[in-house]
Amino acid sequence: MTSNRTVDITTVIDSAHVSSFQIRTIALCFVLSMVDGFDMQAIAYVAPAMAADWGVAGPSFGPVFGIGLLGSTIGTVLFGPAGDRFGRKTVLIPSILVFGTCSILTISASTMDDLMIYRLITGIGLGGALPNIIALASEYAPKRRRASLVTIMFCGFPFGAVVGGIISARLIPAYGWEAVFILGGGLALVALPVTWFLMPESIRFLAMRQGMAEKAAAILRRIDPAGNFSDSDRFVIGEHAMTGATVRLLFTEKRAFGTLMIWTLFFMSLLLSYFMVNWLPLALQQAGLPLTAAVLATATLNAGGIVGCIVFGRVIDKRGPYTIIGTAYLIGAVFVGAIGFAASSAPVVMAVVFAAGFFAIGAQFCAVALVTEFYATAIRATGVGWSMGIGRIGSMIGPVVGGVLLGAGLGIDMLFLCAAITPVLAGLAVFAMARSPQNAAASQSAASH
């Protein structure tokens, strides 16, 4: 066994076969993403039943929806940087505990004020977990397969929302709305000890910290047993050290323009996503489609997004992210704009909605992999967290914009033509990011070698 070697962890992960240990880690991230998606959407599933039970109007839940998204925004921008500083797993554990516990405690709410407090705290926990889950999955995935593995993992979030809706539709009539919060919180609390014992800390994070060589060597031996890694080896990640406030680092070393483009991308993407999810059923119903078809359109949109995410992730691994994601957004804009013109026929509008989801929503899911590629290990969770935090602002604005446009008397054709502007702007942001100073510098460095 060779001692006192300098081992580049990035090179080992990128060159070795994907081990069962890495697959298990990413699969666990997928499960946690599913639970996160379930608990994030739980309030939407139970709102009609709660409104009937409490004798309040359905629209009064608008602030409840909004404050949950606000909590998620707070969680992403606070706990993303915390993950970079203290460790992904170190921050992930309390985040899961918070949203799992508060989800269950929601059943004790007796007023709208109580409900808003519980949803705010639950949102903070949910928002804190997601950027660290994404960073962990990214850092155990080899570069050649990172986009596909990270995007498949992130599909757990919408998949959890879809499965949660199906389960909730059966739970609520049988056991009441409280059962949805108990199930969602219970799943999180069951996942907590599993995460504690089975989820490793990011090996790249460990390599950046003094006194962690033993833990790093133990993990690396599970990834590449033939490497004969020793506790006396010196582990590095092939990236220069960064010091200072992690949020400030998002704007240093030629990252400022790329960061602003990422924020634009996420803002526009989530504005579109929440606009579509909230207003697509109502708009299609008002256009004359049966209620069942209008509701099914939202599921079709999410299904298209999941399929598109998986397809694009694999292509990105081979051809790079920028052209693929940027082009997908622009094609998606065409189908988003066409929804209003196809609304007279249920089969046609379902096909158009699926295509819109495939390209525009699929590109949105893949944008997560783009962010993990853009930021170095030391600021990755911060970059993901702030990007998603800015995106959450868009998610809060999206439903409001839809209400304003409908209130102004816009027809369904013009409504979705206006919505199509957002994926166009997102796509242009991706193409601009490809030409950012940091990417240009990276290309020149690669060419010189």
CATH of 6-207, one of 1.20.1250.20, 3.40.50.300, 2.40.160.210, 3.30.470.20: 1.20.1250.20
Contact (Cβ atoms closer than 8 angstroms) between residue 305 and residue 364: yes
Burial (Cβ within 10 Å: 0-12, 13-18, ≥19) of residue 199: buried
According to the model, what pLDDT value does residue 193 have?
95
Cα 308 from Cα 411, distance rounded (Å): 29
CA of residue 342 relative to chain centroid, distance: 30
pLDDT < 70: residue spans in the chain: 1-3, 58-59, 238-245, 291-292, 295, 438-449
User: pLDDT for 117-137, tens place per residue?
Assistant: 999 999 999 999 988 998 899
Q: In whole angstroms, give the CA distance from residue 194 to residue 183.
A: 17
Q: What is the per-residue pLDDT across 145-182, written as a single tens digit (0 to 9) for each?
A: 887 888 888 888 888 877 887 788 788 888 999 999 99
Q: What CATH number does the domain located at 246-442 have?
A: 1.20.1250.20
What residues are paired with 6 via a beta bridge? Answer: 234
Q: Break the chain into its structural domains and give their ranges.
A: 6-207, 246-442
pLDDT tens figures, 229-264: 888 888 887 665 555 557 788 888 788 999 999 999
Domains 6-207 and 246-442 share a fold: yes
Report d(CA 358, CA 52) in Å as an integer.
Answer: 35
4 Rama sector, left if φ>0, alpha if ψ -120 to 50, beta otherwise: left
